[in-house]
Structure 1
């Protein structure tokens, strides 16, 4: 039982509550969830909304191909490097306070990105957006975990949360194509500003402040080590997209980051006030849930990116057509989400998560047979629908597992670990799977294959590996998560 549940069953102020009385939940909790999930939606929206707009950004601001990668990588580095720290800061200084700070920074940095007149301002704005995610996302998710103590309500809340997260990823591709084609690439940043401002207007009225008991100032040496290690590891992973594994650009940050991470863990083991209590990592269900996010994010990030390239470079879709092509994915994702919320109480996180990953893996494999002259309705829609249903089933189950048994002391930490591994997975998937596709394309061209046939051959190989990884993720999840034990629901 979490400390929140224990506290809710304590005697109420002014007298002793009868033993058969269940405290009434906060009547504001569902409206609060709406505000928190709105920021989660724009975080995932922002992760994909720039993809289709990148060529327009490159043309208008005169980016070199290398410089253009920082529009994406700057965001990933800042968010991935600071998410763990952001979650712990929320526990210590107050989750509502850190959430509002992150949402405010997101609104401001989105405005500066939209108004950018040169490369430096845009890249700096993308770094700031990543920092904003590192503050807002774990704080918001920890607030959701603590507001809903009833199992059935928590599953539903995580379903809504996960649904808006996954829908944000798909909607980012849709809006990116529509806005770039109809208006300008600047609108992919303008559109997120009101979505960040609205929660700021209502959060204080709907959410009480919460933080860990006996909070002490964080160990800033540990905070710096954690950030440096994550930034270095992610930079090494991102370098895999353009450099061979044995190169200095890859090995130096990877080895250095892992070494710094080892020093960080050693300090945590001896510290009286650890930034990351190592006992938290011994919870098998939570850690397995967080690792599952790595499997899902790494594969879906690569799938989004490669399918956008296939539709735009091979099938010659306009940005508008490319964006609208993802609407069936959005609809199917919501269906998978609804099914997951009904399935979770019956089979638990283990059954719903393993099933969702397996379905998504099966859905990816047909993409290994896409032809050069592929049909949208025959070659793409069936696969996209199956992948979306599986992803919709997996998202709520991941959060249910990753945040099981969290308390007032560690809800932000659990959220930070989950979101950090999600960012690591996204960076790893984009770097390795896209690099595999590019390298295989080059090999095919060197043997005399036409450029377009070689490009499709590279995509197909990457899709095969993506499907296999999802199936492996399903098997690992099923093996490690405990069997579901039905529990009586609270009144």
Structure 2
């Protein structure tokens, strides 16, 4: 009995650790979407327009996505528990700073801090799960729980944002993170064993700095272009600096002995196409969350609470689709499942591209959002699998890190480009007597561009699948 109970106790402890690690991942997932419904209230308090508000979303995604690979490397070199604790603490402190922010600039800086916390904690937590659950079946179950909690966090974030903004204040969407992050910091040392001896290695600090600065500078230039000509120094300088940083990143990775991303990783065609498609899909998804929320409140006049509740069909469709992806992959294969998700997203975005000024929630918004939700679940999960095509023990971690970074950075880039396009159209029609008409014209333009991007991604995946049949 004793010999059987010891492994059982160890497994039970592992699931307790998984629950603890998942709690922080849940908070991280919540904060991806929790700001969306609160954006109009934040904009009203700080007098900010859509392009300025985009930084509240993008600040988190850009820094988190840019530093994810670096965070994974730090976890390997400095210790996974140590990095998880540091990330949780930074996330909690940054959440408190966001809730107390006296200005929009301070809020954006705090969102940058939350991104740093995610970049340190999330890769460390994934590594801890892999080490805790060595049995393949148990590891699959654990990662399934991890993924389900992350997906539910995205849904809960939208609902929580509306309730807290309406019943309390938008600042509480950040304050609620603080006690939960504190629980994680205090309980982790009790449940997670200390880090053992670390392997030697070098940190690619120049690569990490360039990969973080480049996207931030490019997005800043794109958003500036919504209010100034493309030839304006305020647009050209950050765009040029960002592009130069990304080019230097490629050079640094080619010359560094221990790079964040070995350039040979992208020679696999399936991986390259899957990651490129992820950029375009994430751009459409981020834009849908952002602009649909503004449409519900600024055009249809819904309160924050009603706007959050309006996302209930989206959340239901998302969670239902997540449970069906594995079956679809078995029947259709990985690439055709990804194409199905992309086409479903395209149908939803196309529906939203026809948003009218005098719209109706259940006719003009909900059908498109439900299709986008299903496409998001099916498309992203299938593309994640495609992005791991042909990986080995040596590059599986790199493949996972690249896919997560591409997902977040693609959403940030897409949001900047498409919201900038919407703002430019709105500004060009601002002389119209009807203000909502100018807003809707901008939203329609952004959704049309997003639709083109998703269709291009579907075409790329179809070409890759067709080539596979020929070989």
TM-score range, shorter chain: 0.7 to 0.9
Larger mean Cα displacement after TM superposition, 300-309 or 136-145: 136-145
Q: Which runs of 5+ in 1 are unaligned?
A: 1-24, 486-491
Contact 1:95 1:412 in 2 (8 A): no
Give the aligned partner of residue 190 of structure 1.
175
Q: CA deviation at 1:417?
A: 1.9
Larger mean Cα displacement after TM superposition, 318-327 or 72-81: 72-81
Counterpart check, 1:452 vs 2:450: no
Q: CA deviation at 1:90?
A: 2.6
Counterpart check, 1:371 vs 2:348: no
TM-score normalized by the length of structure 2: 0.84
Contact 1:328 1:381 in 2 (8 A): yes
Task: Sort the Cα spacing of 1:148 and 1:398 in 2 relative to 1 into closer, same or farther, 3 A.
Answer: farther
For 1:358 and 1:194, locate their aligned partners in 2 and report how far apart those are by CA, in whole Å. 41
Larger mean Cα displacement after TM superposition, 309-318 or 25-34: 25-34
Q: CA deviation at 1:73?
A: 4.4
Task: Sort the Cα spacing of 1:478 and 1:204 in 2 relative to 1 into closer, same or farther, 3 A.
Answer: farther
Task: Sort the Cα spacing of 1:198 and 1:408 in 2 relative to 1 into closer, same or farther, 3 A.
Answer: farther
Deviations 1:183-213 (A, max 9, x none): 1112100222344345445656766788999
Contact 1:365 1:463 in 2 (8 A): yes
Match of 2:350, SS state, is helix
Task: Sort the Cα spacing of 1:279 and 1:149 in 2 relative to 1 into closer, same or farther, 3 A.
Answer: farther
For 2:333 and 2:406, locate their aligned partners in 1 and report how far apart those are by CA, in whole Å. 22
TM-score normalized by the length of structure 1: 0.80
Deviations 1:449-481 (A, max 9, x none): 733233223322322222232222122123336
Give the aligned partner of residue 40 of structure 1.
25
Deviations 1:293-351 (A, max 9, x none): 31222101111111111111111101111111001100110011001132234444323
Q: How many residues align?
A: 459
Counterpart check, 1:329 vs 2:314: yes
Counterpart check, 1:473 vs 2:457: yes
For 1:97 and 1:411, locate their aligned partners in 2 and report how far apart those are by CA, in whole Å. 22
Task: Sort the Cα spacing of 1:210 and 1:400 in 2 relative to 1 into closer, same or farther, 3 A.
Answer: farther
Give the aligned partner of residue 81 of structure 1.
66
For 2:355 and 2:55, locate their aligned partners in 1 and report how far apart those are by CA, in whole Å. 30
Give the aligned partner of residue 338 of structure 1.
323
Contact 2:223 2:416 in 1 (8 A): yes
Q: CA deviation at 1:42?
A: 2.3
Match of 1:174, SS state, is helix
Q: Which runs of 5+ in 2 are unaligned?
A: 1-9
Give the aligned partner of residue 36 of structure 2.
51
Counterpart check, 1:428 vs 2:413: yes
Q: CA deviation at 1:162?
A: 4.5
For 1:159 and 1:126, locate their aligned partners in 2 and report how far apart those are by CA, in whole Å. 28
Task: Sort the Cα spacing of 1:233 and 1:461 in 2 relative to 1 into closer, same or farther, 3 A.
Answer: closer
Give the aligned partner of residue 281 of structure 2.
296
- Greater helix share, 1 or 2? 2
Larger mean Cα displacement after TM superposition, 267-276 or 389-398: 267-276
Task: Sort the Cα spacing of 1:396 and 1:328 in 2 relative to 1 into closer, same or farther, 3 A.
Answer: same
For 1:481 and 1:96, locate their aligned partners in 2 and report how far apart those are by CA, in whole Å. 41
1:226-305 equivalent positions in 2, closer than 5 A: 226-305=211-290
For 2:275 and 2:191, locate their aligned partners in 1 and report how far apart those are by CA, in whole Å. 28
CA RMSD of the aligned region, Å?
A: 3.5
For 1:482 and 1:155, locate their aligned partners in 2 and report how far apart those are by CA, in whole Å. 30
2:376 to 391, 396, 411: 391
2:98 to 108, 113, 124: 113
Task: Sort the Cα spacing of 1:388 and 1:135 in 2 relative to 1 into closer, same or farther, 3 A.
Answer: same
